[in-house]
Amino acid sequence: MKHVIATLRDTEGYQRDYEYDIEDELIDSLVFMWEDGNYACDCNRSLFLYEWDESRELKCNSGSNEIKLVSLVCDGEVYYEDANSRRR
């Protein structure tokens, strides 16, 4: 098992780390899941960001995300970091 920390931020600046564990054999698909897979859509990202508060769940997006993936770290190794999403 590997420990993943995905940092997400919405358009209003609210930011949260979503932490979870992943099976070793799924590590190769980690970045894909957040960029192009199920976790790439605002409907799923909103559940992670707002701690499963379904009243704040966003609709599926077509185009750019309202919720940005800021970074993706697995067992201390950076798998993804968006320089454009860093806090100023």
DSSP 19-39: EEEE-GGGGGGHHHHHHTSGG
In a domain, 52, yes or no: yes
- Can you read off the two tokens belonging to residue 62? 């077509």
Confidence check: pLDDT of 43 > 80: yes
What range does the domain containing 6 cover?
2-82
Whole-angstrom Cα distance, residue 41 to residue 58? Answer: 9
Q: How many domains does the chain have?
A: 1
- Can you read off the two tokens belonging to residue 72? 């993706």
Place of tokens 């920390």: 5
In a domain, 41, yes or no: yes
Which helix (H) or strand (E) segment is 6 a member of? strand 2-9
Least confident segment among 6-15, 27-36, 49-58, 74-83: 49-58
- Convert the pLDDT of each residue in 10-23 to its tens digit: 999 999 999 999 99
- pTM for the full model? 0.86
Confidence check: pLDDT of 56 > 90: no
